[in-house]
Amino acid sequence: MIPILENLDRVRKSIPADVKLVAVSKTMPIETIREAYDAGQRIFGENKAQEMIDKEPQLPEDIEWHFIGHLQRNKVKQIVPFVSLIESVDSLRLLREINKEAAKIDRLIPCLLQFHIAEEESKFGLSLEEAEDLLDSDEYMDFDNIRLCGVMGMATFTTDDEQIRREFRALKVYYEHLKKNYFQDDQAFREISMGMTNDYHIALDEGTTMVRIGSAIFGERNY
């Protein structure tokens, strides 16, 4: 048995009160998520749309579901009715689809722009230039059902702490650049989602506002 209550307590004590904790519940069964819920956790993160769609109706309504994985456009319609933050927006096309589906049901969907900060090719995300192109586009101006709330990124999977630190610093620089040039008067644009089980201590040093933690809470995943 994984001591979820103890794990959650330990993780919570290790992050400041103003940093949001996203409990990454991917691959975890409903009972396990409910245990974390009963221990007071309210924000959960999932990286597969279908999995999140299946879990959501089985769990309490006051859960805030964050979508943190690569989102296919054909799944947008099904998550838009309940998702509270899409952390992984990496294209104008995706944003367009989210806006379209959100408009149909009259919702405003909070989103983060995901940046590619890791060395690994495999990880998704925008470059600063791509993000600026998106924000400069005429189309973006007309997305009335999207609220951009900040940035997200995943560091390289490595034991080299200095490399991870450099990548997190780069994300913070991107955030500050966008804040200054596009969102200066927008209170909603304030999140930097960075840090997972193995690197969130570094992310805290580098100014994260939102950590996404799975294994330190739920134990190792069996795929």
Question: Least distance from C-beta 142 to ligand PLP, angstroms?
Answer: 29
Positions touching ligand PLP (CB under 6 A) are: 24, 26, 47, 68-69, 154, 196-198, 212-215
Please identify, using beta-carbon distances, which residue of 74 and 122 lies nearer to ligand PLP: 122
Q: What is the dihedral of CA 155, 161, 163, 167, to 10 degrees?
A: 40
**Given the complex with ligand PLP, which of 63 and 143 has the nearer CB atom?**
63
The residue among 116 and 212 lying less far from ligand PLP, judged by its C-beta, is: 212
Q: Cβ distance 210 to 20 under 8 Å?
A: yes
Nearest distance from residue 143's CB to ligand PLP, in Å?
23
**DSSP character at residue 70:** P
- Least separation in angstroms between residue 187's CB and ligand PLP is 25
By beta-carbon proximity to ligand PLP, the closer residue of 98 and 211 is 211
In contact, 4 and 217? CB cutoff 8 Å: yes
Which residues neighbour 170 within 8 Å (Cβ) at sequence distance 6 or greater?
Answer: 115, 117
Nearest distance from residue 47's CB to ligand PLP, in Å? 4
* Segment holding 150, helix H or strand E: strand 146-153
Both tokens assigned to 153? 């990124």
Q: How far is the CB of 103 from ligand PLP (least distance, A)?
A: 27
Burial class (CB in 10 A: 0-12, 13-18, 19+), 6: exposed
**What is the smallest separation between the CB atom of 137 and ligand PLP, expressed in angstroms?**
26
* Complex with ligand PLP: residue 143 or 200, whichever CB lies closer: 200
Give the Cα separation of 107 and 128 in Å (integer).
28
Q: State how beta strands 64-67 and 85-89 pair.
A: parallel
Cβ(194)–Cβ(206) under 8 Å? yes
Closer to ligand PLP by Cβ: residue 24 or 178: 24
